[in-house]
Amino acid sequence: MISPDDLIALVRNYNPKTNADRIADAFAFGEQMHEGQFRHSGEPYFTHPVAVAAILTEQRLDDATIITALLHDTIEDTKANYEEVSRRFGEEVAMLVDGVTKLTNLQLSSRETKQAENFRKLFMAMSKDLRVILVKLADRLHNMRTIKAMRPEKQAQKARETMDIYAPLAGRMGMQWMREELEDLAFRVLNPEGRQSIIRRFVTLQRETGDVIHRITGDMRLELEKAGIEAEVFGRAKKPYSIWRKMQAKDQGFSRLSDIYGFRVITLSEEDAYRALGAIHQRWRAVPGRFKDYISQPKSNGYRSIHTTVSGRDGKRVEVQIRTRQMHDVAETGVAAHWSYRDGVRTENPFAVDPAKWIASLTEQFDAEDDHDEFLEAVKLEMYSDQVFCFTPKGDVIKLPKGATPIDFAYAIHTRIGGSCVGAKVDGIRVPLWTRLRNGQSVDVITAEGQTPQVSWLEIATTGKARTAIRRSLREADRARFVKLGHELARSAFEHVGKKATDKALETAARALRASGVDELLARLGAAEITAHDVVQSVYPELTSTGDGDEISPRRAVIGLEPGQSFERAACCQPLPGERIIGITYRGRGVVVHAADCDKLGEFEDQPERWMDVQWHSGTHPAAYGTTLELTIGNDAGVLGRICTLIGEKKANISDLEFVDRKPDFYRLMINVELRDVEQLHSLMLTLEAESDVAAVARFREKPEERHFPG
């Protein structure tokens, strides 16, 4: 533990006019109050408040904040009370200490306490004096630096709370260095293997490439000198957690991640900052889409800087930040710049903003608001402009990138939940899976046995974890599905020419079409990469016609009927040529043809005399068989037009269209299309599934209870 004189010396480095006696008095009082108390590590407890005060001296904060740090646990953990602290150190310090105590008692990660109310209290406390949160952040930083002394379960709880609340809060307040350290310390607890993996790869990279930072900073200094620009240049490797987050967001391995180095150019003037940008872009190629000018458009916390990414040595991408010294001071200390001292007086930094105004505007806006959830949503939206924090029904916080959807939320909970997701409720209301989540919303994932990830989810998901899991599942499921579907298509196609799809016939077709085996042939057929006609023709070219030929009349499309007997397609399953079918006789009506897998057939199990063995006629059928598709599409201009165009391009005719559900952001509709056979249906559905504005497409079939035929 540093001594009182050492602490005072740290303050005098930036504030020669500090009241050394008051700080010494606070040091003695705090040490006395905490006497006999020890930390989990066995050290005297007062070493913690002293370390918190030392952290705050790095931000050049005023005497009141330093004294508050020394006393921040006295009201909560000792016999001292508000009145005694106020009498001895003044009302300002007493209010600050009391504010820190209230923040500590909020227990922001508690599952038993309503999150919205906790955040309301947190911001109300911060609005009175933001130095309260500065002390609390320094308190959390020291606790995280010494977290190894805690029990493993307590470490995990504190680390999650730090990652979810305190690290983003530090970043939102402009204290980026603190955010990065808090994230990295929490990362060390929550995923030690991942962090060590990043560090090991860094060591390997440095061994292979040498000191890249030293070389690039030297190159930049040389270019700036050539341009006559006086500036400081610094370089560093990004923190392990920052790299890990990029890997997850971009779904890339370490070796493919390029911008893992960051460089900072500090100029004397704003004009020099733009000149430095020009010199760097002349020397290195700028990466498109990676330029941001926060000087002309500052962040709400006062942050100003130019960000660009360029291709450096060996094609490696590096991120460069360019700003003036005054801008740099704000960037380093964030809101603390408002209280920073230099040479005994408050620093007059033109870029430092009064962060209390930001919080005050929120608390004033929602001061009379009874809906705490609405308050939480607005507050978090302001705080975490690049992240989304949502809640499970049990109150657990799930952190996601901006633009995340319920699919990302489900996979963030567990891969199994993500894979079986069939829907979601946001704040109790059923929403489409492509809905963009907002801060503070409660998300309830709906799952079902047998559900598997859909191709359209890749367009919906934004997180690396979700997209990776979806791709893996699709690769496994699609092959099995396509093989099964291909087998049915091949069977039907061979039957059309009076042959059977034997193993030998399929092996011959596989060799002729240069497939590695029968399964690959069937998978390609099922995925519409080849047609059933191609497969049959490769084995029996003499039986397949290359011309259009005569189309089979719908009146004689089914064989196996008795002379003079008519048929009609069942409306419940709408069977198509190429599918296996069963005929059911009706008095005075002829035969109703059902698909072999139709649920309606279960009603006739005890009437075998009504069943007929029928099949579709082989040959070419006209596009005359109505089939209903159920689609969910985005409610955007031109979407419906594109869908209709796609259907027309697949040589299918739309005979009817009905909207069954209209929402602000999506439509659900039934489209009746006229098709030739099941192969055309499959091809059409694959095309629609690939369209980014189609969230879901399915063949509509009525359940037995929805429709009844007269017996």
Give the separation between CA 278 and CA 229, rounded to whole angstroms: 11
Secondary structure (3-state) at 265: strand
Burial 447-483 (b: 16+ CB within 10 A, else e): eeeeeebbebbebbbbbbbbbebbbebbeeeebeebb
Structure tokens at 355: 């962060």
Q: Catalytic annotation on 77?
A: yes
In 3D, which of 325, 217, 221 has the Cα closest to residue 273? 325
156 membership: H or E segment, kind and range: helix 152-161
Nearest 10 degrees: CA dihedral of 551, 555, 556, 559?
130
Q: Provide the 8-state DSSP code for 344.
A: T
Q: Are 321 and 265 in contact (CB under 8 A)?
A: yes
Residue 669 phi/psi, 5-degree rounding, is: -140, 160
Q: Which residue has the tokens 């996979």?
A: 411
Listed residue (650, 633, 631) closest to 699, CA to CA: 631
43 within 8 A of 87, measured Cβ to Cβ: no
> Of 58, 76, 495, 630, which is the active-site residue?
76
> Residue 84 to residues 37, 56, 94, 98, 536: CA-CA distances in angstroms?
20, 24, 9, 12, 95
Q: What is the rounded CA–CA span in Å between residue 514 and residue 371?
A: 65
Beta strands 567-569 and 443-447: pairing type?
Answer: unpaired
Phi and psi, residue 448, nearest 5°: -150, 140
- 661 catalytically annotated: no
At 668, the amino acid letter reads R
- Provide the 10 A C-beta neighbour count for residue 664: 5
Q: Which residues is 320 bridged to in the sheet?
A: 263, 308
Largest alpha-carbon pair distance within the chain?
A: 114
Counted residue by residue, the chain has a size of 711
**Burial label, 662 (beta-carbon count in 10 A; 0-12, 13-18, 19+):** exposed
**3-class SS letters over 105-146:** HCCCCCCCCCHHHHHHHHHHHHHHCCHHHHHHHHHHHHHHHC
Alpha-carbon distances, residue 181 vs 59, 190, 257, 294, 403 (angstroms):
15, 14, 21, 23, 26
Please give the backbone phi and psi of residue 508, each rounded to the nearest 5 degrees, phi first.
-65, -45
Tokens 């004689």 belong to which residue?
556
Q: Which amino acid is at 608?
A: P
| Phi, psi values for residue 698, rounded to 5° | -150, 155
- Cβ-count burial 673-700 (b if 16+ within 10 Å, e if not): bbbbbbbbbbbbbbbbeebebbbbbeee
| Cβ-Cβ contacts under 8 Å for 685 (sequence gap 6 or more) | 629, 697, 699
Determine which one of 5, 25, 35, 77 is catalytic: 77
Distance CA 412, CA 409 (A): 5
| Phi, psi for 222 (deg, rounded to 5) | -65, -45
Tokens describing residue 499: 């042959």
Q: Which residues are catalytic?
A: 76-77
